[in-house]
Amino acid sequence: MEIISNKAWGMIVKTPLEPQKLSRVDAIAIHHMASPTANIKEVQSWHLNAGWRAFGYNYWVDFDGTVYEGRGYAYIGAGVEDQNDHIISIGFAGNYQSGLDGIALSPPMSDAQFNAGIDIIEWVRQRVPSITKVGGHKGFMATACPGDAFPLAEMISGKRRETLSVTDCTNELLWRGIITNQPLWNAAAAADQDIFWLLKKYYPYIIKNGGSVKNPLSVSESGQAVAILQKQGILSKPALWTEKALRDQNVRWLLIKMADYIN
Ligand SMILES: [Zn+2]
């Protein structure tokens, strides 16, 4: 895991940070940003505008799994009111709380962001062995942070998610007869993140639920296929896939095959 130093990303320190007395640090608190778009610079400006001495979190994890050093573990952070002298705070990009007025919920946390979270927690624990508890912000005080859609228990378990390769996905799809031209789909998934994402979503679904082509070619329209895949929770952006199917006959064919298989 690479950590982008606070110098490298340009953290502004208005008032010198206070050194942390590491022997009294016993916990890590996990936070979300309650914003689906805010990047580290925007979060920094919130904190500076609030009159804080600097960006508040000790570390911060972006959607793509990039880990940033904020105040670091050697300085007191600003994440859990009145308890920062014994808690290290790690922030995560995204809004993982449903029902916030006018604020879109982020998509389910990406494997990259999740695994980076596991890695930075482990990294900090190795350096601060007095830590005995990892919890959500809400485990330390009354707050909704890091949100009801944050995979908190899974993250506290400390187990990384297995990340699938393109070939893992297409091997399975080939074996089940959903695709026939594996090189085509390996290349398509390598060139288009959306296609890789769809294969990765479909893969665990068929592993879990099995399925077979019960009514071969019962699905004839890509719109029908998109509706079936959406209903099964496999794809969440029907407009994106309808558009891709229109532009690319192979995508249209893949969607229909996938829907047929689970229909
Ligand atoms: Zn929080």
State in Å, rounded, how far the first CA of the chain is from the last one. 41
Domains of the chain: 3-156 (3.40.80.10), 166-262 (no CATH)
CA 144 / ligand 1 centre spacing (Å) = 8
Tallying the residues shown for the chain, one arrives at: 263
Alpha-carbon span 106 to 151, nearest angstrom? 12
Instruction: Note the pLDDT tens digit of each residue in 71-120.
Output: 999 999 999 999 999 999 999 999 999 999 999 999 889 888 999 999 99
CA 137 / ligand 1 centre spacing (Å) = 5
CA 108 / ligand 1 centre spacing (Å) = 18
- The one-letter code for the residue type at 33 is M
CA 34 / ligand 1 centre spacing (Å) = 9
Q: Does 177 score more than 60 pLDDT? A: yes
Instruction: Note the pLDDT tens digit of each residue in 41-71.
Output: 999 999 999 999 999 999 999 999 999 999 9
CA 174 / ligand 1 centre spacing (Å) = 44
State the average pLDDT over residues 115-126.
Answer: 97
Which SS3 state, helix, strand or coil, does residue 23 take?
helix
Number of CB atoms found within 10 A of residue 14's CB: 10
Q: Quick one: pLDDT at residue 215?
A: 57
CA distances from 79 to 48, 86, 138, 146, 259 (A): 14, 11, 11, 11, 45
CB 19 within 8 A of CB 74: yes
CB 10 within 8 A of CB 27: no
CA 110 / ligand 1 centre spacing (Å) = 19
CB 66 within 8 A of CB 93: no
CA 84 / ligand 1 centre spacing (Å) = 12
CA 163 / ligand 1 centre spacing (Å) = 27
CA 39 / ligand 1 centre spacing (Å) = 16
pTM (two decimals): 0.70
Confidence of residue 221 (pLDDT cuts 50, 70, 90): confident
| Residue 51 backbone class (left: φ over 0; alpha: ψ -120 to 50; beta: rest) | left
- Tell me which residues have their CB within 5 A of the ion that is ligand 1: 31, 137, 145
- For the residues of 45-61, what is the DSSP string, one character each? HHHHHTT-SB---SEEE
